[in-house]
Chain A
Amino acid sequence: MKSWIRQCGTYTAPVGLFLVFGLVWHLVVQWFDIPKIILPSPLSVINALWVERWILLRASWVTLQAASAGLLCSAVFGSLIAVLFSQSATMRIALYPYVIFLQTVPIVAIAPLLIIWSGYNFRTIVLVAVIISIFPVISNVTSGLLSVNENLRDLFRMQSATRWQMLTKLRIPAAVSQLILGLRISSGLSVIGAIVAEFFVGNSGEYDGLGTIMTARQAQLKTAELMAALMACTALGILLFALVNLMGATVLRRWTRTTGFESEK
């Protein structure tokens, strides 16, 4: 019973706060007579959300595909690069600064350059999503592959295990939980990458992602619709994060009967 009440509290508190925030927002717009272009009332945002639901759903689907493809590429290529790093210290020393470059590069600044190279297309969106989301995968998986328990390493050495056996039977399985943790961080980033890329690519008029919708609504000074698209972006980020989380927890539970996330509690 007590836990039920606590659970209700967990949900009612943030929802209640959200409603209070909406009310204050509505009253501020009413009292100060703020123009719709600057700040539309929450009701008009909800209205825009309803009116544009099919456009937003279609755009979300397009952006979700790009972000998912980017995340998948990050998982695959990030893991491969991490395996390479774990096998050769020279490679690690030589390439790691460039990997950090991927993390620090201002994506907004290089997106136009990528469009010149790759064109106004889906591929460019995925490419930007990969550039922005690959670092957590490389960093986490490399650390997972390298920080294997010393006793386990000795156990393999005592059996005269080959480098390949050490990699496939010990290092890679040990790094699975780190890969999943990396993907949790990357999932949000890949959505950001896809939307930022769409700001630029969308201008061609051939692409219909959430970023495209947002630039179009901004140009039309439809602030309520712009805010509705913003809410769709947030929902999309949460959705992808939740999907990765769910998949990760399922994999880890099957893998070791623990979720691997306990330490965070």
Chain B
Amino acid sequence: MGSLLSTENDSATQSPAAFISCSNVVLDFQTRGISQRVLNDLSLRVMSGQIVSLLGPSGCGKSTLLRVIAGLIDADSGRTEIRGQLISKTMPNATRDEISFVFQEPALLPWRTVWHNVMLPLEIRGLSKLNEKRELIEHLLQVVGFKSSDWHKLPSQLSGGMKMRASIARAMSTTPKILLLDEPFAALDDMLRSKLNDLLLAISTEQKCTMLFVTHNIAEAIYLSDEIAVMSHGRIAECLKVPLPFPRESKIRSSSEFAAYYGVVSESLSRCHS
């Protein structure tokens, strides 16, 4: 099953060029006639297979940037590209199909079972009847930690953590090349958050997809990422390479290198804040 997932992404991992690139992106929001600059000449490059965390204070434009990259909002100027393909609301379906989004809340349809929620993206694309896709969904549900007896439960019967797991499985059901995550674990407790971080790393290793991860949590950003982009006032203020080796395990969180790097990121954040 593992090969079934990874083969589709192999070609992507071999490309050395920037996978996601934003150049000079500007976006203003109008609220009651007052214009507010949300993205301010923002530039960012993410290489294929990388996990990049966007860290920054509330309202600095992290989630908006994610939505621009997802093609849900058009920027006023600048270019956003995925493998050279221009991203916009009207981009071709083939490009859109390569991107998946995990929202801050699980956003499951309450009338659909876990299985049918995870199947939904494939159903919309008319692929839900294919046997290989059904095998893929079974595999994904196992990877994220669902027993087969839970597949036919409704979201109201699940805990917050399980809902988020289902949401991650749904995002992976289309075997995306890019996974955008908008503070997915913000509402969960530390234990659960740490477990889901490991799950995300496992999925990233298995599917080799590029991830852009919005968070407020410095430790989470360090643990997950190859790079941390610190955002401030609508632009990337600093890009920090995380010097910790992969694969990462939970015990790394208590290492001195981790603590030292935590200080570096924390300092960078306060610098950008001031």
A residues apposed to B, CB below 8 Å: 149, 151-152, 154-161, 165, 169-170, 173-174, 176, 255-258
Q: Could you give, for residues 98-134 of chain B, a 1 whenever the CB lies within 8 Å of some chain A CB and a 0 otherwise?
A: 0111011101011100000000110111000000000
B residues apposed to A, CB below 8 Å: 67, 70-72, 93, 96-97, 99-101, 103-105, 107, 109-111, 120-121, 123-125, 154-157, 174
Verify A257–B103 contact, CB threshold 8 A.
Answer: no
With the chains together, A149 CA to B67 CA distance in Å?
A: 16
Can you list 14 contacts pairing A with B, beta carbon distance less than 8 Å? Answer: A154-B70, A155-B107, A159-B121, A160-B124, A173-B109, A173-B111, A174-B109, A255-B110, A256-B110, A256-B154, A256-B155, A256-B156, A257-B157, A258-B110
With the chains together, A174 CA to B108 CA distance in Å?
A: 12
Verify A158–B70 contact, CB threshold 8 A.
Answer: yes
A154-B72, A154-B101 known; A160+B109 contact, CB < 8 A:
no
Please indicate the chain A residues that have their CB under 8 angstroms from the CB of B100 in the complex: 158
Verify A160–B97 contact, CB threshold 8 A.
Answer: yes
With the chains together, A159 CA to B103 CA distance in Å?
A: 14
Verify B107–A149 contact, CB threshold 8 A.
Answer: yes
A157-B72, A160-B93 known; A169+B111 contact, CB < 8 A:
no
> B122's closest neighbor in chain A, by CB?
A159
A155-B101, A169-B124 known; A255+B111 contact, CB < 8 A:
yes
With the chains together, A213 CA to B120 CA distance in Å?
A: 55
Minimum Cβ distance to chain B for residue A241 (Å): 25
With the chains together, A154 CA to B101 CA distance in Å?
A: 9
Verify A154–B109 contact, CB threshold 8 A.
Answer: no
> B94's closest neighbor in chain A, by CB?
A160
Please indicate the chain A residues that have their CB under 8 angstroms from the CB of B155 in the complex: 256
With the chains together, A155 CA to B171 CA distance in Å?
A: 9
With the chains together, A157 CA to B103 CA distance in Å?
A: 14
With the chains together, A151 CA to B101 CA distance in Å?
A: 10
Minimum Cβ distance to chain A for residue B89 (Å): 8
Please indicate the chain A residues that have their CB under 8 angstroms from the CB of B72 in the complex: 154, 157-158
A165-B124, A169-B120 known; A154+B103 contact, CB < 8 A:
yes
> B121's closest neighbor in chain A, by CB?
A159
Minimum Cβ distance to chain B for residue A88 (Å): 20
Minimum Cβ distance to chain B for residue A261 (Å): 14
- 6 closest A-B pairs by beta carbon, nearest first, are A151-B107, A159-B124, A151-B103, A256-B110, A160-B93, A257-B156
Known pairs A169-B124, A258-B156 / 7 extra A-B pairs, C-beta < 8 Å: A158-B96, A160-B125, A165-B124, A256-B111, A256-B154, A257-B154, A258-B110
With the chains together, A255 CA to B120 CA distance in Å?
A: 17
Please indicate the chain B residues that have their CB under 8 angstroms from the CB of A152 in the complex: 107, 109
Minimum Cβ distance to chain B for residue A128 (Å): 35
Minimum Cβ distance to chain A for residue B152 (Å): 12
With the chains together, A258 CA to B158 CA distance in Å?
A: 13
Selected from A157, A158, A165, A176, the residue in CB contact (under 8 A) with B111 is A176
**A155, A256, A257 pick with most chain B CB within 10 angstroms:** A155
> A157's closest neighbor in chain B, by CB?
B72
> A161's closest neighbor in chain B, by CB?
B124
With the chains together, A154 CA to B110 CA distance in Å?
A: 16
With the chains together, A160 CA to B120 CA distance in Å?
A: 12
With the chains together, A256 CA to B105 CA distance in Å?
A: 18
With the chains together, A91 CA to B69 CA distance in Å?
A: 34
Verify B124–A156 contact, CB threshold 8 A.
Answer: yes
A154-B101, A154-B103, A258-B156 known; A159+B111 contact, CB < 8 A:
no
Please indicate the chain A residues that have their CB under 8 angstroms from the CB of B120 in the complex: 155, 159, 169
> B70's closest neighbor in chain A, by CB?
A158
Please indicate the chain A residues that have their CB under 8 angstroms from the CB of B174 in the complex: 159
With the chains together, A155 CA to B157 CA distance in Å?
A: 22
Please indicate the chain B residues that have their CB under 8 angstroms from the CB of A154 in the complex: 67, 70, 72, 101, 103
> A170's closest neighbor in chain B, by CB?
B109
Please indicate the chain A residues that have their CB under 8 angstroms from the CB of B101 in the complex: 154-155, 158
> A155's closest neighbor in chain B, by CB?
B107
Verify A158–B157 contact, CB threshold 8 A.
Answer: no
> B126's closest neighbor in chain A, by CB?
A165
A154-B72, A257-B157 known; A159+B125 contact, CB < 8 A:
yes
With the chains together, A239 CA to B42 CA distance in Å?
A: 63
